[in-house]
Amino acid sequence: MEDAIELVFIPTPGMGHLVSAVGTAELLLKTRPHLSITVLIMKLPFAPDAKVNSYIDSLLADEKDNPRLKPIPLPEDLAALKGKTDKISIFRAFLDSQKTKVRDYCVNEIQRSGCVRRLGGFVVDMVCTSMMDVAEEFGVPAYLFFTSGAAILGLLFLAEDHGKDASEFKDSDPDLNISTYSKPFPVKLLPKVGLDTKEFGRRTQQAKGVIVNTFFDLEPHALQSLSKDKRFPPIYPVGPILNLNAHQNNNPELEKQILEWLDNQPASSVVFLCFGSGGAFSEPQVKEIAYALEHSGQRFLWALRKPPSPGSVVLTEYTNLEEVLPEGFLERTKIIGKVIGWAPQTAVLAHPAVGGFVSHCGWNSILESIWFGVPIATWPMCADQQANAFQLVRDIGIAVEIKMDYKTDSIDSKNNIPIVPEIVSAEEIEIGITSLMDHSTSNSIRTKTKELKEKSRKALEDGGSSFNFVESFFKNVMNNLK
């Protein structure tokens, strides 16, 4: 009889990271009846996220339906944050305080039940690599969970490949040769991910394996590059891990109105504009988008959010859209367009009326768009999104560009103040949208996106590439058991 094994997942307390970790845990549990997984949930002491809290509540409520998946909220330690003023130092102090909580849980709960199940290892989020120290204390292997794609995983090893940190390349040659990209990577698109890439590289090489939320047919070049590099541990692309029910119960009445409007549009005729939980624009930029949509003549569904108020990071809704849109825009476009606030993204992408997606290029949004076969026009904003946009447009060839080097997280190093991005003109936006919505038979982007839609689904089926990598990962776990 197969041993009962326990894995401990430690995700970063952000929606995209938490959902991907839980989805991966559920995937593993499907194939191994003697496996149980504990997900240790940290709650950030600042900027509480209502969506994250709601998701955590749903996990706790569903525990009785799947007793082998145990979400455990960790207690907060606000005293550890005393004297810390900036977000980076607060977050590092927060992680250090949570290491103690993780250690305590393992001592009190898992070791106590050691005669029932064996601790097989820790699966640690890419931002929480310091938690690998706890795994080492318990003498069990640590695996890295990488929530983005395989190409950017290679990009974060700049420190190893070039002997310096990624941030040091800002004044170097305009392009870099990164093994996980088939084309030279522009320095100006280097991501601001908040990681010490040298430390990340060191920690990754210590891991017994790396789970990546991607699938082989999406990133064959990147995955083959990583697997050939002897410094890397084994790579397990097990995706796409998606939360296709993320929109449920948020606003059912509004969702109904949106889907009913889409029901009345021709197939593949609507361009959907949505920029994630942090995507908002200044009033001048909003007007340029509106001019582009109106002049293009394309049907559109536009998720328009209001920038955070001073001192906040949370987007809000406009109470009066006419205060930010061009005069008369809503009246002139009421036949072909609909402007909304919050959007049930997966439900919209799944609708047959949607034929294109103007996106900020967050990795989860990319995977969702591919899953539903909707081509993308790239408008990245921060973090890894510029790198993702480059990969989609230049490396894989399944997207068109609106503005690839648009950044909302650039800082003026002299004055330590944010750099306001340049306004993207209506002409640039219209060209991107028109190209995106080209339905001619010669549109290779649309054809390739449809092909990847089928491959993304087959990857998770019995015998598919991701299914097989799940099996390989579990063999790794069993081989490393002591």
At residue 338, φ and ψ (nearest 5 deg) are -145, 125
Residue 125 annotated among the catalytic residues of the structure: yes
Query: CA 110 to CA 470: how far, in whole Å?
Result: 24
Active-site entry in 49, 125, 217, 384? 125
Burial class (CB in 10 A: 0-12, 13-18, 19+), 420: exposed
Residue 171 annotated among the catalytic residues of the structure: no
Active-site entry in 17, 221, 247, 360? 17
Active site residues: 17, 125
